[in-house]
Structure 1
Amino acid sequence: MKTMSTAAAVLAVGGAFCAHSAKAEEFSIKPVVEARLRYEHVEQQGIADQADAVTVRVRGGAQATTGRFTATVVAQGNLAIDGHYYDGLNGAATRPLVADPQNVGLYIGQLQYKAKGFTLTAGRQKIVLDDERFVGNVGFRNNAQTFDAVRAEITPIKSVKLDVSYVWDVRTIWGSDGHGARQQGISGNNVLGNLSWTTPLGTLTGFAYLVDQNEAPVQGFRLSSQTYGGRFAGTHAFSKAVKLAYQASYAHQSDWRRNPNSYSADYYLADGTLDVKGWKLNAGYEVLGADQGVAFTSFQTPLGTNFKFQGWADKFLTTPANGVRDLYFGGGYGAKKFGPLTAITLQGTWHRFNSDRLDQHYGDEVDLLAQAKLKKTTMAVRYAHYEAHALATDTDKVWLQLDWAI
């Protein structure tokens, strides 16, 4: 019902406006068509059977623009061609989890007004802030995360931007069949505030994220939190061939709204990447702190694109009770073009995971990626190996993926 009401509201408002202003303004329609084919294989110690998931995700819709208004409606469907995996919702967990359940539903249903220095977006939409650590789209999963929200982006002067959203429903990766702790939508009064200032050295951002997970089956409200912090990210070119990218971030989190826990935890990040003629070296240290050593009293990021951080084996999507410290080193190569291929990426990263409390060595992980684009198709091969010590179990994951968009 929430999906239908959101889509109906956007279509009604957008249709009414378009009908009224089409006489005075130029009217255009742009199709939206995307497709993804993916094979995901998982072997996990302690689970006898392997997971083999072959899925096809298709998105289709349109953007209608007239004057300063744009209405966008995009539907999506995910089909399991080979369903030899546990999707998190259906059946017993006799195989490893692949979090891509079958789904048909509304992906985007929004109306946007855009003027100089001001953008207002209402309806079901993507919200991606900074590096997606705290608020993101979870785009790697087939049923990506979107938000039923009103978002205002204000640029009063060229170098300053204020980005504020009120979110009343978080549409999760679990899709139309989501239930229990893995619901299709999590209601609540969420406020996401982000103020950035761009300088010659980089962008300085202050943020306040008030997360209200107001659904009792979702960890008993224990993911509701208030997070305040700052981030600085920029690049420096030593020459045409050599440049350095850097970022640093700090945040403090505590309980909020109906969260029954009382806790206080900190977040730290320092990261740098040296690029020499396409060859890259990367190192970083990220800490999601702990307070009491009790579940959900450590720093949590329930709205973030967590797959991007702390390894692709997904062992730390929920921060352990004792927190996590991630020391990582990586390298790779990137090229704009090689023969018919473009946007070429070769990448490898090694992680060492320790706890924030008690100095436990959780485990180590290696992640590898090869990716390139051929015309409108992006091809990717990805691998993750997690070697457990004090947390979780040994896990290997392989992905073969094709993405296509018009």
Structure 2
Amino acid sequence: MKVNFLSITTLGIGFILCPNLVKAQEEISTTEGLDTEPQNAFTLSAQLRPRLEYRNGAYRPLQEGEAPAILTNNRLRLNFDYKHSDRLHLYVSLQNVNVWGQAPQIQAVDRTGGMSVFEAYAAFPLANTLNAKIGRQVIALDDDRIFGSLDWHPAGRSHDAVNLNWMPSEQWTLRSFFAYNQSGNATALLNVNTPSGQHFTPGAGQDYQHLEALHAHYSISEAQQLSFLFANLGYRTDNSADQNMQTFGAYYTGKSNPLSYSASAYMQTGKNASGAKKSAFLLAANVGYRVTPSFGLTAGVDYLSGNASDDTSGKDKAFNPFSGTNHKFYGFMDYYYVGFTPNVGLLNPYLTANVRTGEKSNLSATYHFFAPAAKFKTDKKHNSLGSEIDLVYNLKLQSFIGLQVGYSTYFANDGAKALKNTPNARSYQDWFWCSLNINPEIFSAKF
């Protein structure tokens, strides 16, 4: 039924648009020669992104006796984009995410979950320098460290929120976000007729019950950018007491050929979802140097605070990058902050080399060294969590088709095995993937 809904939706939009297109053509023909601009624009685009993965130790070290996973995940999106001059922007993105083989060859029953809504929002002006965006939307700020689109994941990440944007000058942009979530668990889903209560089940698809965030961006110059973030996350389990965690800090980026550089600093206070006092911080910096037009190096370090194994203060000192695209920062094998937040925090110095291998291709190689940010002791003290090497090759096959191939290996030591609770880990852990990203624009019209 959900796939039929997509067909009906697409057909319905076609029926709606066709008369308008005919009418628009008639109006254009009757006003030929006059200096008139089309008021409406519509674009239909799609994305098909299959990705083959060989997981011989991704997410955690595989233990002796465990077989590697081999699978192909897939994302399909259909994007409907309508604009009426500068008065209204309506955007709907439908998606289907599955693993090859989940749907039977004769698909009498849809076992993949069918279509879902990735984004569905309306944006419109409220005043000359103030506009609003309301609905399901991606929140991606700065370098995706705290709020990111999570595009690597087949499903991505989007929020049900209200976004107000104010641009008082050419240098300043102020963005605010507000959200209030109601979510049930798998056996008690909410409906529009729920009569009472503030229902929220942590982990049932939502990390917070309510969100209030303010992001201020200041353009110092074309090459120097500075932004500030304040975000409050409210946690609640059904009708229990509200717990609030605040995250605030700044992000700076600049470039001066052949150098590029950036720095981030964030703190977290308030209380976590369990009610413990929060006192955590994140520091990150990197410097890039373009050696030649086709070769560059980037060195950086991330420090996310954590809880020492012998800490009895009762405070939560582990920084939580709650809505960040963590795959981008802490190793592509996703040992940290992707479904697993290390209680001891993380120290992550890294070095990346980028090589342009052709007009439409490039190769990158990154080395990560991992260590606990706080004291980590089991039967012995662990000063290291091992290291990782990530290789990624990009090739643009056509204007709307890209190929990516990646290979990573993790050198797990006793510290990594203890932290990930895999004492009998195999000696070699690696991960291979190959992905096609197909993004055609199917139809576009102005009328």
Residue pair 2:236, 2:242 contacting (<8 A) in 1 also = no
1:247 Cα deviation after fit: 0.4
The residue number in structure 1 matching 2:105 is none
Gap change, CA 1:40 and 1:103, over 3 Å in 2: farther
CA deviation vs aligned residue, 1:43-98 (integer Å, no higher than 9, x gap): 13216121111122111131121132011111100121146xxxxxxxxxxxxxxx
State the percentage of identical aligned residues. 20
User: What is the CA–CA distance in structure 2 between the aligned matches of 1:333 and 1:117, rounded to whole Å?
Assistant: 42
The residue number in structure 2 matching 1:74 is 93
State the TM-score, normalized to the length of structure 1: 0.79
Residue pair 1:225, 1:259 contacting (<8 A) in 2 also = no
Which of 332, 345, 351 in structure 2 is aligned with 1:312?
332
1:255 Cα deviation after fit: 3.3
Residue pair 2:82, 2:91 contacting (<8 A) in 1 also = yes
Which of 385, 393, 401 in structure 2 is aligned with 1:370?
393
The structure carrying a bigger strand percent of its residues is: 1
Gap change, CA 1:103 and 1:255, over 3 Å in 2: farther
1:385 Cα deviation after fit: 1.2
CA deviation vs aligned residue, 1:152-176 (integer Å, no higher than 9, x gap): 22221111111111123499xx9xx
The residue number in structure 1 matching 2:303 is 287
User: What is the CA–CA distance in structure 2 between the aligned matches of 1:48 and 1:247, rounded to whole Å?
Assistant: 41
The residue number in structure 2 matching 1:405 is 439
Gap change, CA 1:345 and 1:236, over 3 Å in 2: same
User: What is the CA–CA distance in structure 1 between the aligned matches of 2:95 and 2:243, rounded to whole Å?
Assistant: 28
Alignment of 1:125 with 2:137, yes or no, is yes
Residue pair 2:271, 2:278 contacting (<8 A) in 1 also = no
Which of 229, 234, 241 in structure 1 is aligned with 2:254?
234
1:185 Cα deviation after fit: 3.7
The residue number in structure 2 matching 1:90 is none
Residue pair 2:294, 2:356 contacting (<8 A) in 1 also = yes
User: What is the CA–CA distance in structure 1 between the aligned matches of 2:45 and 2:247, rounded to whole Å?
Assistant: 35
Gap change, CA 1:25 and 1:149, over 3 Å in 2: farther
What's the C-alpha RMSD, in Å, of the aligned pairs? 3.3
Aligned positions of 1:254-269 closer than 5 A: 254-256=269-271, 259-269=274-284
1:149 Cα deviation after fit: 0.5
User: What is the CA–CA distance in structure 2 between the aligned matches of 1:251 and 1:186, rounded to whole Å?
Assistant: 19
Structure 1: runs of 5+ lacking an equivalent:
84-100, 238-242
**Length, aligned pairs only:** 355
State the TM-score, normalized to the length of structure 2: 0.72
Residue pair 1:384, 1:398 contacting (<8 A) in 2 also = yes
Aligned positions of 1:5-404 closer than 5 A: 26-44=39-57, 45-46=62-63, 48-67=66-85, 68-82=87-101, 104-114=115-125, 117-169=129-181, 182-200=203-221, 201-214=223-236, 225-237=245-257, 243-256=258-271, 259-275=274-290, 276-291=292-307, 293=309, 297-317=317-337, 318-334=340-356, 338=359, 342=360, 344-358=361-375, 360-375=383-398, 376-389=400-413, 390-391=415-416, 392=420, 395-404=429-438
User: What is the CA–CA distance in structure 2 between the aligned matches of 1:170 and 1:355, rounded to whole Å?
Assistant: 36
Residue pair 2:171, 2:220 contacting (<8 A) in 1 also = yes
Q: Secondary structure at the match of 2:385?
A: strand
User: What is the CA–CA distance in structure 1 between the aligned matches of 2:243 and 2:387, rounded to whole Å?
Assistant: 26
User: What is the CA–CA distance in structure 2 between the aligned matches of 1:362 and 1:313, rounded to whole Å?
Assistant: 14
Gap change, CA 1:215 and 1:274, over 3 Å in 2: farther
* Segment drifting more, 136-145 vs 271-280: 271-280
Residue pair 1:265, 1:290 contacting (<8 A) in 2 also = yes
Gap change, CA 1:374 and 1:247, over 3 Å in 2: same
